[in-house]
């Protein structure tokens, strides 16, 4: 507590202490300098970037407190990012909308194929729905409305639930799923956030690994003592030149990926893991599968 108070009073950190209702209790000297209108009991300014903030929870007497160390938002850069993201979403929506329109026109020309065309049209609508849901969820993460790193969860039970939910889809794609790890090992993510991360990683493998591939989900500790969540497959893989950009929004390595998924799944994974104080990386090669490793400090 004394060290935390010293950081608040004498450090250069932009830091805030919040109560259980997310109201301000106190702020660092640097934060008060940047936000002179801050008052105890108020909410944080909108220019505080909560998505990339570091959080720590502790007890002050009988009251729960949250220490947040947050970077400031560069408003000009933020506006540029917002405009670019809006344009990208618009572009991504146009593709399934154009395909849907073509399918509806095809029904008039080929009335005997209505059932098959209707199934294809349904898939395009589902794709648009998935994209919109992912956009809204990512927006919630970035605005700080979804708390990522408060609490923890035993990982294996969550992984088992995700595998159960996706087993039928994996069977249809010809991909087998397996889990290994200590059932009692916890990762520093709320169950819902861990579910989102795991589901997106497994769904990615189901979509792109290919028929006959095996996908393994594992949790454990690295040789460096970090907690790890690893999802790996031995399927089609991806060119090494694409790996650095794999977690970018809407990035697709090839045309085959353009009609699958929202293009936001891995971006959401990265956002959640980093917000929880972890790191995410990918490795693989054509014909040698893909491995995504999420690491967290113990």
Per residue in 158-180, pLDDT tens?
999 999 989 998 999 999 999 99
Residue 182 DSSP class? -
244 vs 91, more confident: 244
Q: Rounded to whole angstroms, what are the CA distances from 213 to 90, 216, 235, 257? A: 34, 10, 5, 17
CATH of span 75-143: 1.10.287.130
CA 175 to chain centre: 23
Weakest-pLDDT range from 49-58, 121-130, 268-277, 278-287? 49-58
pTM for this prediction: 0.57
Q: What are the tokens at 122?
A: 């349904």
The highest-level CATH class for domain 153-296 is alpha beta
For CATH 3.30.565.10, the residue range(s) in the chain are 153-296
**Of residues 257, 259, 258, the one with CA closest to residue 290:** 257
Scored b (16 or more CB within 10 A) or e, 249-282 reads: beebeeeebeeebbbbbbbbbbbbbbbbbbebeb
Residue written as token pair 């700080």:
144
Backbone φ/ψ region at 84: left (φ over 0), alpha (ψ -120 to 50), beta = alpha
Q: What is the pLDDT of residue 259?
A: 46
> Who has greater pLDDT, 87 or 117?
117
Backbone angles phi, psi at 63, to 5 degrees: -110, 140
What pLDDT, on a 0 to 100 scale, did the predictor assign at position 225?
Answer: 85
Mean pLDDT across the stretch 78-93?
Answer: 55
Q: Which two tokens stand for residue 102?
A: 């073509």
Mean pLDDT of 43-57: 67
> Using N-to-C axis directions, what is the helix angle for 114-143 and 75-109, rounded to 10°?
170
Residues present in the chain in total = 298
Residue 134: CA count within 13 A, CB half-sphere? 26
Q: How far apart are CA 281 and CA 250, in angstroms?
A: 17
Greatest Cα pair distance, the chain, in angstroms, is 77
pLDDT of amino acid 77: 47
| Cα 9 to Cα 3: distance, rounded to the nearest angstrom | 10
3-state secondary structure of 4: helix
Determine the Cα–Cα distance for residues 161 and 170; give it in Å rounded to an integer. Answer: 14
């Amino acid at each position: 507590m004394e060290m935390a108070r010293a950081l608040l009073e004498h450090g250069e950190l932009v830091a805030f202490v919040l109560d259980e209702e997310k109201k301000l209790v106190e702020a660092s000297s640097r934060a008060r300098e940047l936000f002179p209108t801050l008052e105890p009991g108020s909410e944080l300014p909108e220019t505080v970037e909560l998505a990339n903030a570091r959080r720590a929870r502790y007890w002050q007497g009988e009251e729960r407190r949250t220490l947040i160390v947050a970077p400031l938002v560069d408003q000009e850069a933020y506006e540029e990012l917002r405009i670019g993201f809006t344009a990208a979403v618009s572009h991504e929506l146009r593709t399934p909308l154009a395909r849907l329109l073509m399918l509806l026109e095809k029904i008039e020309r080929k009335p005997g194929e209505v059932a098959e065309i209707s199934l294809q049209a349904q898939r395009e609508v589902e794709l648009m729905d998935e994209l919109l849901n992912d956009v809204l969820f990512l927006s919630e993460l970035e605005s700080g409305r979804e708390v990522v790193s408060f609490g923890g969860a035993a990982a294996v039970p969550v992984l088992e639930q995700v595998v159960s939910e996706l087993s039928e889809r994996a069977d249809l794609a010809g991909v087998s799923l397996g889990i290994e790890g200590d059932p009692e090992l916890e990762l520093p993510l709320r169950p819902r956030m861990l579910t989102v991360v795991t589901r997106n990683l497994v769904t990615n493998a189901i979509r792109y690994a290919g028929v006959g591939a095996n996908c393994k989900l594992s949790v454990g500790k690295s040789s460096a003592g970090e907690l790890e969540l690893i999802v790996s497959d031995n399927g089609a893989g991806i060119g090494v030149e694409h790996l650095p950009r794999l977690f970018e929004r809407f990035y697709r390595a090839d045309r085959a990926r353009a009609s699958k998924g929202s293009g936001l799944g891995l971006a959401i994974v990265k956002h959640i893991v980093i917000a929880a104080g972890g790191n995410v990386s990918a490795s693989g090669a054509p014909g040698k599968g893909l491995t995504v490793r999420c690491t967290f400090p113990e």
